[in-house]
Amino acid sequence: MMNDTENKNITIGDVAEALGVSKTTVSRAISGKGRIGDETRQRVLDYIEANNYRPNPMAKGLADQRKYNICWAIPGDSNVYDLPFFQRCMAGVCEVTMATDYDVLISLVYEKNISHLKRIVENKKVDGVILGRTLVDDLAVKYLKGKDIPFVTIGSSNEKNVIQVDNDHENACKEITSILAGKGYRKLALIGGSSSHVVNATRQRGFELGLRAAGVDINEDMLFLGNETTADVERAVDGALSVGAECIVCMDDCICRDVLLKLRRDGISVPGDLKVASFYNSELLDDNQPQITAIQYDPKEIGNVACTILLKIIAGEEVEQKSLLGYEVLLKESTR
Amino acid sequence: MMNDTENKNITIGDVAEALGVSKTTVSRAISGKGRIGDETRQRVLDYIEANNYRPNPMAKGLADQRKYNICWAIPGDSNVYDLPFFQRCMAGVCEVTMATDYDVLISLVYEKNISHLKRIVENKKVDGVILGRTLVDDLAVKYLKGKDIPFVTIGSSNEKNVIQVDNDHENACKEITSILAGKGYRKLALIGGSSSHVVNATRQRGFELGLRAAGVDINEDMLFLGNETTADVERAVDGALSVGAECIVCMDDCICRDVLLKLRRDGISVPGDLKVASFYNSELLDDNQPQITAIQYDPKEIGNVACTILLKIIAGEEVEQKSLLGYEVLLKESTR
DNA sequence: TTGAAAGCGCTAACAC
DNA sequence: GTGTTAGCGCTTTCAA
């Protein structure tokens, strides 16, 4: 006898009929909700397994008002979304959903335009949202707070009552800064990026705490912040050199790369003439000779945690307001 | 009078009632299907607009058996998925869906495990699939062919009857190779990666066609293929040098980076002692001094095209079996 | 041109 | 413990 053919669309009704029970019973066997006889449940489960029955998520969603999708929202600006950070983070998110009934829907959001996210939320296509990046004055955060939908942000938000998961940037930056100062490099210049990112403010704070911890006074002239373009960074490098920096601390990998290129072009040797460290490590720095002292995070872990938390919220469980993840300080050649 | 508040869930029934028409009429006004009076349609449309009514996609999907989602399937292997290529491609896909009713669902697929893709397809969560990468003997391709679901592959497939979109790697590689040979570099070594990727075979063919076009005989000893690890590549570089290569042609950006690092460590200067070119350009090579001669593609465009094609198939339109996209040959310092 | 009614496949009161 | 029934919000015959 032929095994079950690739039945087009076997429904809960078919299963019920085949087994001579009601749809409700089948539903109960699957969901585990409601009371049902052990033997009956097993019969149903066996049949389902054997015939590869899959509940239609549309119907289920319609009936129980759930979508079984979450939204992964990342910056749509081309120079941002291709940072490996987001891919890894996303993989972390997917890893978690793979073990559940949930799937991940993508949304590209822009600094001033979150219309796609709005559409997804208003079309009720998702049960929750993970914001892959958080800005200081984040449109998406504000929007989601106004809606009745669970969401978590990756990276810290200044907004109140927002569930967030982040690396412990502050302590990481504090630690690496004080280590550097402890090594005797007391003229540390900080070169930082756009101040519209919460994380940059956090890193700056970590930097200052680190200096203080090492007993070094903070010198405003050594802070070069708000650099957006490569040209800005290059200017900052010149500035740092002109005020006699012994070590340049870069707020992130992109800046550090620009700094290193500039130094190489100018014939300034690292660590010979100048030390360099970065508050964020990535493959952008991997190839550099010498290897760069930097803070190492695990983006995938962030994705994991963010997703786990979101699913908990959706399930109605309580969660921490803020989760801080660990880091590693990699001391390399560039500050030797 | 208060403007309409953020009504929780305004449904087609609410609209119908408010307007004193039937749900059918509202449905027709929205879809454009069926006959309806101009004036009636306009009234409905205006009301919908004013009250920000959004049809529930679950209900719509249930009724018309569509999911209004497509699947974006990418490799789940950590060393692969974070290639900027996939992010950019994905952005291209999203760009297209943003202008439609469709959204994008992510699936991570592995070389030997496509269970997540299967789940998404069997749970009927999507109307079609875009495979971000194609392997020679691709599990996902085989699986999807057996299912009755539209899909397109990015990258070429050897399987028959598969809709595919790809860059014109063969002609690109042929062109750059013959240009190099035409410059007088006749001892060209090719260093290539895993042969389980269709694209690598295509590139090899392009390389050989380019040599032939330039009247250079193909020398098997100059082909270093199937290199998986950095160590493999380094060995290949040694091999290439030992057979007297004047120019190393790298099959992709990753290999090229490894080659460049190795050469730098060995004190071999480019282009002084040896020329280097790459069949694929990316930011991995951007920072290199000298700049590397390479083929430039536009991943985002691939995403655009793949998605457009998939949506056409879903809509029942005819599409080309294979779409080949353009390229640019960047001649830089490294082969000067 | 419009409407009534029957589903799409599933869940959840509420009976039995 | 199991079944009946009434939805979830939308589309689509079929009549009017």
CB-CB under 8 Å, B105 with A94: no
Percent pLDDT > 70 in chain B is: 97
Inside any domain, residue B200? yes
The strand pair at B151-154 and B128-131 is best described as parallel
Instruction: Classify the phi-psi angles of A270: left when phi > 0, otherwise alpha if psi is within -120 to 50, otherwise beta.
Output: beta
B39: nearest nucleotide, CA–C1' criterion: C1
Buried b / exposed e across A149-176, counting CB within 10 Å, b at 16+? bbbbbbbbbebeebbbbbbbbbbbbbbb
- pLDDT tier for residue A37 given thresholds of 50, 70 and 90: confident
CB-CB under 8 Å, B108 with A106: no
Q: Cβ of residue A36 near strand D, that is under 7 Å?
A: yes
The pLDDT score that the predictor gives to residue A1 is 30
Inside any domain, residue B61? no
Q: Do both A205 and A103 map to the same domain?
A: no
Domain containing residue B21: CATH number: 1.10.260.40
- pLDDT tier for residue A8 given thresholds of 50, 70 and 90: low
Helix (H, G, I), strand (E, B) or coil at A117: helix
Q: Do both A146 and A218 map to the same domain?
A: no
The DSSP 8-state label assigned to residue B267 in this structure reads: T
Q: Do both A183 and A139 map to the same domain?
A: no
- For residue A70, the chain B residue with the least C-alpha distance is B105
Inside any domain, residue B140? yes
Inside any domain, residue A62? no
**Model confidence pLDDT, tens digit, residues B95-128:** 999 999 899 999 999 988 999 999 999 888 999 9
Q: Do both A184 and A246 map to the same domain?
A: yes
Distance B60 CA to D10 C1' (A): 5
A62: nearest nucleotide, CA–C1' criterion: D8
Percent pLDDT > 90 in chain B is: 70
The DSSP 8-state label assigned to residue B135 in this structure reads: B
| Cα dihedral sign, B106-B109-B115-B118 | positive
Number of domains in chain B: 3
A306: closest CA of chain B, how far (Å): 17
| Element housing B285 (H / E) | helix B283-286
Q: Do both A125 and A174 map to the same domain?
A: no
The pLDDT score that the predictor gives to residue A7 is 47
Q: What is the mean pLDDT of residues A256-277?
A: 95
**Model confidence pLDDT, tens digit, residues A317-336:** 999 999 999 999 999 999 99
Task: Tell which wins on pLDDT, A195 or B56.
Answer: B56
B298 in contact with chain A, both atoms CB, cutoff 8 A: no
Asked whether the predicted pLDDT for residue B298 surpasses 80, the reply is yes
Q: Do both A204 and A158 map to the same domain?
A: no
Q: What is the mean pLDDT of residues B28-47?
A: 88
Q: What is the mean pLDDT of residues A259-281?
A: 95
Q: Cβ of residue A25 near strand D, that is under 7 Å?
A: yes
Q: Do both A133 and A94 map to the same domain?
A: yes
The pLDDT score that the predictor gives to residue A106 is 96
Q: Do both A194 and A283 map to the same domain?
A: yes
Q: Average per-residue pLDDT in chain A?
A: 91
Inside any domain, residue A63? no
Q: Cβ of residue A269 near strand C, that is under 7 Å?
A: no
- Say whether the peptide bond before residue B290 is cis (omega within 30 degrees of 0): yes
Q: What is the mean pLDDT of residues B69-86?
A: 85
Inside any domain, residue B10? yes
Cα A177 from Cα B201, distance rounded (Å): 49
Helices A84-98, A299-314: inter-axial angle, 10-degree rounding: 40
Radius of gyration of chain A (CA): 26
Q: Do both A293 and A237 map to the same domain?
A: yes
The pLDDT score that the predictor gives to residue B160 is 87
Q: Do both A185 and A155 map to the same domain?
A: no
Q: Print the domain residue range for B81.
A: 69-166+300-326
Tell me the HSE value of A88 on the side-chain side, using a 13 A CA sphere. 13
Instruction: Classify the phi-psi angles of A29: left when phi > 0, otherwise alpha if psi is within -120 to 50, otherwise beta.
Output: alpha
Asked whether the predicted pLDDT for residue B8 surpasses 80, the reply is no
Contacts of A257 in chain B (CB under 8 A): 287
Q: Do both B316 and B282 map to the same domain?
A: no
Q: Cβ of residue B52 near strand D, that is under 7 Å?
A: no
Q: Order the strands of the A293-296 sheet from edge to edge.
A: A223-227, A188-193, A247-250, A275-278, A293-296, A328-330
The pLDDT score that the predictor gives to residue B122 is 87
**Model confidence pLDDT, tens digit, residues B180-217:** 999 999 999 999 998 788 889 999 999 999 999 999 99
The pLDDT score that the predictor gives to residue B79 is 72
The pLDDT score that the predictor gives to residue B3 is 37
Buried b / exposed e across B199-234, counting CB within 10 Å, b at 16+? bbbbbbebbbbbbeebebeeeeebbbbebeeeebbb
Cα B142 from Cα B117, distance rounded (Å): 12
Distance A22 CA to D1 C1' (A): 12
Cα A163 from Cα A176, distance rounded (Å): 27
Instruction: Write out which nucleotides of chain C lie closer than 7 A to a protein Cβ.
Output: 1-5, 7-14
- pLDDT tier for residue A183 given thresholds of 50, 70 and 90: very high
Q: Which of A303, A327, A309, A323 is closest to A91 using CA atoms?
A: A303
Asked whether the predicted pLDDT for residue A6 surpasses 90, the reply is no
The pLDDT score that the predictor gives to residue B140 is 95
Inside any domain, residue B62? no
**Model confidence pLDDT, tens digit, residues A144-163:** 999 889 999 998 888 889 99
Instruction: Classify the phi-psi angles of A86: left when phi > 0, otherwise alpha if psi is within -120 to 50, otherwise beta.
Output: alpha
The pLDDT score that the predictor gives to residue A297 is 95
Taking a C-beta distance cutoff of 8 angstroms, is the pair B163, B152 a contact? yes
CB-CB under 8 Å, A98 with B88: no
CB-CB under 8 Å, B124 with A58: yes
Q: Average per-residue pLDDT in chain B?
A: 91
- For residue A115, the chain B residue with the least C-alpha distance is B98
Q: How far is CA A167 from the centre of its chain?
A: 9
Instruction: Write out which nucleotides of chain D lie closer than 7 A to a protein Cβ.
Output: 1-5, 7-13
- pLDDT tier for residue B4 given thresholds of 50, 70 and 90: very low
Q: Do both A288 and A319 map to the same domain?
A: no
Phi, psi of B219, rounded to the nearest 5 degrees = -115, 110
Helices B139-146, B115-122: inter-axial angle, 10-degree rounding: 20
The pLDDT score that the predictor gives to residue A309 is 97
What single string gives the DSSP state of each residue in B33-61? -S---HHHHHHHHHHHHHHT----HHHHH
Per mean pLDDT, which range of A74-88, A286-300, B259-273 is the poorest?
Answer: A74-88
Q: How far is CA A73 from the centre of its chain?
A: 10
**Model confidence pLDDT, tens digit, residues B246-266:** 999 999 999 999 999 999 999
Inside any domain, residue A61? no
Domain containing residue B194: CATH number: 3.40.50.2300
| Element housing B19 (H / E) | helix B12-19
- pLDDT tier for residue B75 given thresholds of 50, 70 and 90: very high
- pLDDT tier for residue A273 given thresholds of 50, 70 and 90: very high
Q: Cβ of residue A23 near strand D, that is under 7 Å?
A: yes
